[in-house]
Amino acid sequence: MSGQERIVIVGAGPAGFSAARAYREADGAAEVLMLAAEAHHPYSRPPLTKEYLRSEHGRADLFMEDPGFYAEHGIELRTQTAAAELDIARRVIHTDSGEELGFGSCVLATGSEPVRLPVPGGDHDDLITVRELEDSERLQSQAAPGAAVTVVGSGFIGCEAAASLAMRGADVSVLATAWPEYRALTAAQVRGAMKQARVIDPTHFLAAGLANDPTIAYVAAGRAA
Ligand SMILES: Cc1cc2nc3c(=O)[nH]c(=O)nc-3n(C[C@H](O)[C@H](O)[C@H](O)COP(=O)(O)OP(=O)(O)OC[C@H]3O[C@@H](n4cnc5c(N)ncnc54)[C@H](O)[C@@H]3O)c2cc1C
């Protein structure tokens, strides 16, 4: 099959994976090539701050399909291969290794990136921004019982990570500049774990409000009751 008929999917997260699978399920017959910047076949990120971070699930549980799925469905998956340049006029993609790949159709499924800490020192190697499988593993290896961990960000993922780290026995602080999204933590056990985290609220305002919540208690810069 010529490159003119090939479908190239850039990005092998859930969106790229779903596009490839749906195309095959709809009996699409063109060559399908997925380019994955990461080293893994498609996996699910939500467990990275939940079951996987708490070591309740293993690596194999993260993957959307077994490694054999791709060849069985005629999907070529190239890991550690990023699209570096897209030439729409010529319908060609250049990979970061210098390869040129023709395509008939191209699906861009490159996802999104977390905001890196925009402060001096925010790019220090010791800071872990949780986005990829390895980030969660690095956090697991450092969050031993009693280890001091500070979570920056009190959105859904920050609260989830704080709760999971507390459940691992780490001594957790959460830097919160907005109302912590702990209500989105549906599992009672996980919500309860947030009680072990101290929330450091620079304005001391939010923490006072949270102290009235019947299910969870926060104090500014101190241990929750
Ligand atoms: C820690 C964490 C917890 C989360 N928890 C939840 C949750 O509980 N519930 C929920 O609904 N959502 C959650 N999310 C969000 C959810 O994971 C994303 O919405 C989902 O992963 C988006 O899928 P995607 O395929 O669009 O993008 P992504 O998962 O971001 O995948 C995009 C892929 O494209 C690759 N890529 C980027 N550029 C290139 C390139 N040039 N060449 C090749 N490949 C490239 C990237 O490396 C990446 O692997 C969580 C996310 C994280 C990080």
Q: How far is the CA of 16 from the centre of ligand 1 (A)?
A: 10
> What integer pLDDT is reported at residue 204 of this predicted model?
46
Each residue's pLDDT tens digit, 162-177? 888 988 888 888 877 6
Taken in order of first residue, the domains within the chain and their CATH numbers are: 7-108 (3.50.50.60), 143-210 (3.50.50.60)
Mean pLDDT score of the chain: 83
| Angle made by CA atoms 128, 131, 136, in degrees to the nearest 5 | 60
Each residue's pLDDT tens digit, 76-121? 999 999 999 999 999 999 999 999 999 999 999 999 988 887 777 7
pLDDT at 3 over 70: no
Most confidently modeled of 22-26, 119-123, 128-132, 221-225? 22-26
Over residues 118-126, the mean pLDDT reads 80
> 148 forms bridges with which residues in the sheet?
171
C-beta of 35 in contact with ligand 1 (< 6 A): yes
Mutate to test the pocket of ligand 1, among 17, 45, 48, 101 (most ligand atoms within 8 A of CB): 45
Over residues 188-217, the mean pLDDT reads 53
* Radius of gyration of the CA atoms of the chain, in A: 21
Q: Looking at ligand 1, which atom is closest to the CA of residue 113?
A: 30
Q: Which helix (H) or strand (E) holds 22?
A: helix 14-25
Over residues 121-132, the mean pLDDT reads 86
The three-state secondary structure class of 175 is strand
- Going by alpha carbons, the residue nearest to atom 41 of ligand 1 is 83
Q: CA-CA distance, 83 to 193, in Å (whole number)? A: 41
Give the dihedral of Cα atoms 210, 214, 219, 225; nearest 10 deg: -170
| Angle made by CA atoms 121, 219, 148, in degrees to the nearest 5 | 45
Is the model more confident about 186 or about 121? 121
> What integer pLDDT is reported at residue 213 of this predicted model?
45
> What integer pLDDT is reported at residue 219 of this predicted model?
37
> What integer pLDDT is reported at residue 211 of this predicted model?
45
pLDDT at 131 over 90: yes
> 59 forms bridges with which residues in the sheet?
none
Q: CA-CA distance, 5 to 17, in Å (whole number)? A: 19
> What integer pLDDT is reported at residue 43 of this predicted model?
98
